[in-house]
Structure 1
């Protein structure tokens, strides 16, 4: 083999630069995804201080809770759900919303503690729901209580 053919021998071809930019872009997207998951799953009080994210999270919690309470009320009015299970489901959903909106562990609080604290405006609705759930002689209209819970969630700030 002659030496004049050696000029055609070269090393491996280098990678294209777009592979580097693709790797950097995917890394940034992955980091942003983990940050978003972390921020949106934080308890209510810590995230409420963030201006845009806190407001967006609060609105999403409101919409989800209103939709759930409305569905429970509709099922109760249609006769698919009795008064006791409907009252329990609405109470559970309302307490979950209050916990998501304020960070207060409303799911585990008694009515006296709710009435004495920052969640006092929710106490009358929760009292009606508790009465409908645990009092066999209750005269509380669960459909009206569902409407009250929906209005409370809608007006919560």
Structure 2
């Protein structure tokens, strides 16, 4: 190895080569941090179009929204929230998930419009959640609806 290259890698006399490698590692960490922040703050519609990130984004969305549905169901089962509140929260969670996963603005669509779209698989569940939310005489089991919401989110492709 030429002396100049050896001096560059090991550093000038009196300096440890560890400082060079530590600086390179810190620079790499800063670059990775900025990349992670940039990707994490991108809008969902742009993330769905990036092939390398698309699947990871979809998994993260499914995990996050399924966890939210599970939390709502657990809160309802423990008596912390009413059936009406749980139905509203589950409906909002499912509609928000559908929007984030597909780009279709499901939050603003009627159930009939959802049934006639690519989101048709979610329409029966949204209809039952609406019944739990708006019909006090409804006999639907909100706990089962919460489980079904979580399962629909986890299995969405």
TM-score range, shorter chain: 0.7 to 0.9
Query: Which residue in the other structure is 2:78 paired with?
Result: 78
Shift in CA distance, 143/33, structure 1 to aligned 2, threshold 3 Å: same
Once the two structures are superposed, residues 18-57 of structure 1 have per-residue CA deviations (whole angstroms, 9 ceiling, x without a partner) of: 8888777656544543333232333333212323311111
Query: Which residue in the other structure is 1:106 paired with?
Result: 106
State the alpha-carbon separation in 1 of the partners of residues 22 and 31 from structure 2.
14
State the alpha-carbon separation in 2 of the partners of residues 21 and 110 from structure 1.
59
Query: Which residue in the other structure is 2:88 paired with?
Result: 88
Tell me the CA shift for residue 89 of structure 1.
0.9
**Unaligned 5+ runs, structure 2:** 1-15
TM-score for both structures, normalised by structure 2 = 0.76
Query: Which residue in the other structure is 2:38 paired with?
Result: 38
**Unaligned 5+ runs, structure 1:** 1-15
Contact 1:70-1:150 within 8 A present in 2 as well: yes
State the alpha-carbon separation in 2 of the partners of residues 103 and 56 from structure 1.
17
TM-score for both structures, normalised by structure 1 = 0.76
Aligned-residue Cα RMSD (Å) equals: 2.4
Tell me the CA shift for residue 129 of structure 1.
0.5
State the alpha-carbon separation in 2 of the partners of residues 94 and 19 from structure 1.
51
- Please identify the structure whose Cα radius of gyration is greater: 1
Q: How many residues align?
A: 145
Query: Which residue in the other structure is 1:12 paired with?
Result: none
Contact 1:69-1:146 within 8 A present in 2 as well: yes
Once the two structures are superposed, residues 45-79 of structure 1 have per-residue CA deviations (whole angstroms, 9 ceiling, x without a partner) of: 32123233111111111111111111111121222
Structural mapping, 1:1-157, within 5 Å: 29-157=29-157
